[in-house]
Amino acid sequence: MKISFLIHNAYGIGGTITTTFNLAHALAERHEVEIVSVLRHREHPNFTLDPRVSLRPLVDLRKEKDNPLHQRPARVFPVAEYRYQQYSELTDRRIGECLEALDSDVVIGTRPGLNVHLALQAPSHVVRVGQEHLTLDNHPPRLRTALRRAYRRLDVLTTVTEADAAAYRRKMRLPGVLVEALPNSVPDPLLPPADGRAKVVVAAGRLVPVKRYDLLIEAFARVAAAHPDWQLRIYGKGEEQPRLRALIERLGLSGNVFLMGAAAPMEAEWVKGSIGAAASNFEPFGMTIVEAMRCGLPVVSTDCPYGPGEIIKDGVDGRLVPVDDADAMGAALLELVGDDERRRRMGRAAIENARRFAPGPVVEQAERLIGEAMAARSAGTRAAPQRAGLHRTLISQGFAARDTAYAAASTALRALRRGQR
């Protein structure tokens, strides 16, 4: 199969870019894969791209920022979408031309506005898969209205958690659209896992208010008071950096808490720590949580909607604490800092339990979803009824064999093409 991903800007840094690259790399082992980036602002992507995956931009901002068409508002990309101000008549035109000429069997959108484009403009022969990396409840009402109309033309809609998939089934009512959770994948680590001996807590992500690094720093003050030889290293960049630096100085933590800047990839930094931490008020998935666990770190996280509670087994491979509770976060960190054996035991459990987010199981599920959509198209029907919780069942059972999923997809594709002749 040929599979195309449509992404906002493959040349930036963020969780959607990371997981798109991860899934594209894994799919490239069996399929022809390309990533279409609507925008480009630099020569090379921040993340290393598998040479088997092609990358092509539609609008190069280095040369076309002042294009008159880019000064006019977008008409297809929904006004209520978060990135609307970055879209224009030029992006509308380039995306439409790209989709019209598409020779792929499958196109996968990676954010709501792009899902609207492919729902409305992708050729009839292409299986249309929309990915949601945020949550339905996080979308404003005006955007939900636009999505409800457009998403009915998708074949598959994936969310990153079961909770969000259930919300889409319950609230959006998309007849004939296969709505399932497809978790983000994290590549198999290349480095030996952390051994739990380093006196370092590691956190990573954009330095923005929702990530609540201020709360994490306040919580770590309790750790530093009891164990002054421990450090907190925060990786990332963003608008909160000056405020966080001031907070570190005000709390007298300059020798314990460090703003490390952005690092990509993060694996080499995770394995230098012994505990991962996340303090978000809201986390659609929790990519950094999985990354840390795959590197052998138990993770202390807020139990915020929706992701952490579907990733961490509280008391087994990490700890879940209430949102906006620095005392609870500090106490949970102290539990692991002060108990070497428990910390190492939970680190080993983290490695084992996070295997369900390895590329293999996730790719198998993606291939199955695509195969079902192709089979439904070839039969002239819509997708099968939703199966809540299926991805958990498949993961626990090790999934059906990949060859079976691929064979089903290939058979469906051949039948579809015969029907078009």
Give the domain CATH number at 311: 3.40.50.2000
Which of 357, 376, 407 is a domain's end point? Answer: 357
pLDDT, residue 153, reads 96
Is 368 within a domain? yes
Number of domains in the chain: 2
pLDDT, residue 416, reads 40
Sorting pLDDT into bands at 50, 70 and 90, what band is 264? confident
Provide DSSP, 78-141.
Answer: -TTSTTGGG-BHHHHHHHHHHHHT---SEEEE-SHHHHHHHHHHS-TTSEEEEEESS-GGGS-H
CA distance 79 to 76: 9
Give the number of C-alpha atoms closer than 13 A to the C-alpha of residue 301, restricted to the C-beta side.
34
Within this chain, do residues 123 and 220 fall inside the same structural domain, yes or no?
A: no
Which of 306, 339, 357 is a domain's end point? Answer: 357
Query: Tokens 């929790």 identify what position?
Result: 286
407 pLDDT more than 80: no
- What does the longest C-alpha to C-alpha distance in the chain come to? 73
pLDDT, residue 392, reads 41
pLDDT, residue 347, reads 98
pLDDT, residue 7, reads 98
Report the mean per-residue pLDDT for the chain.
Answer: 90
The residue ranking higher by pLDDT, 379 or 65, is: 65
Is 137 within a domain? yes
Which contacts qualify for 262-267: CB closer than 8 Å, 24 or more apart?
Answer: 262/13, 262/235, 262/236, 262/237, 263/204, 263/235, 264/13, 264/46, 264/47, 265/47, 265/48, 266/204, 266/235, 266/291, 267/189, 267/190, 267/191, 267/291, 267/295
Nearest to 212 by CA among 250, 184, 186, 238: 238
Is 337 within a domain? yes
H or E segment to which residue 54 belongs:
strand 53-60
Is 366 within a domain? yes
349 pLDDT more than 50: yes
Query: Tokens 């199981």 identify what position?
Result: 361
The residue ranking higher by pLDDT, 421 or 342, is: 342
Q: Is 418 left (phi over 0), alpha (psi -120 to 50) or beta?
A: alpha
Sorting pLDDT into bands at 50, 70 and 90, what band is 381? low
Within this chain, do residues 148 and 276 fall inside the same structural domain, yes or no?
A: no
H or E segment to which residue 368 belongs:
helix 359-378
Range name among 106-110, 182-186, 290-294 with the lowest pLDDT average: 182-186
CA distance 151 to 161: 18
pLDDT, residue 371, reads 92
Tell me the mean pLDDT in the region 112-138: 95
Within this chain, do residues 204 and 284 fall inside the same structural domain, yes or no?
A: yes
Helix/strand/coil percentages in the chain, nearest 5? 45, 15, 40
57 pLDDT more than 80: yes
54 pLDDT more than 90: yes
Task: Identify the bridge partners of residue 35 per DSSP, sorted by sequence position.
Answer: 5, 55
Torsion of CA 101, 106, 109, 115, to 10 degrees: 80
Sorting pLDDT into bands at 50, 70 and 90, what band is 403? very low
Within this chain, do residues 124 and 249 fall inside the same structural domain, yes or no?
A: no
Within this chain, do residues 100 and 220 fall inside the same structural domain, yes or no?
A: no
Within this chain, do residues 347 and 375 fall inside the same structural domain, yes or no?
A: no
Write out the residue range of the structural domain in which residue 23 sits.
2-185+358-420
Is 191 within a domain? no
Within this chain, do residues 143 and 215 fall inside the same structural domain, yes or no?
A: no
414 pLDDT more than 90: no
Task: Identify the bridge partners of residue 14 per DSSP, sorted by sequence position.
Answer: none
Sorting pLDDT into bands at 50, 70 and 90, what band is 45? very high
Within this chain, do residues 138 and 278 fall inside the same structural domain, yes or no?
A: no
Which of 339, 357, 375 is a domain's end point? Answer: 357
Is 192 within a domain? no
**Residue 300: how many CB atoms within 10 A of its CB?**
31
Within this chain, do residues 72 and 161 fall inside the same structural domain, yes or no?
A: yes
State the amino acid at position 85 in one-letter form. Q
Sorting pLDDT into bands at 50, 70 and 90, what band is 376? confident
Q: 28-44, pLDDT tens digit by residue?
A: 999 999 999 999 999 99
pLDDT, residue 257, reads 98
Within this chain, do residues 96 and 125 fall inside the same structural domain, yes or no?
A: yes
Is 407 within a domain? yes
Is 194 within a domain? no
Within this chain, do residues 38 and 66 fall inside the same structural domain, yes or no?
A: yes
CA distance 274 to 193: 10
409 pLDDT more than 50: no
Cis upstream peptide for 265 (omega within 30°): yes
Q: In degrees rounded to 5, what are phi and psi of residue 29?
A: -65, -25
Within this chain, do residues 91 and 232 fall inside the same structural domain, yes or no?
A: no
Q: 150-159, pLDDT tens digit by residue?
A: 999 999 999 9
259 pLDDT more than 90: yes
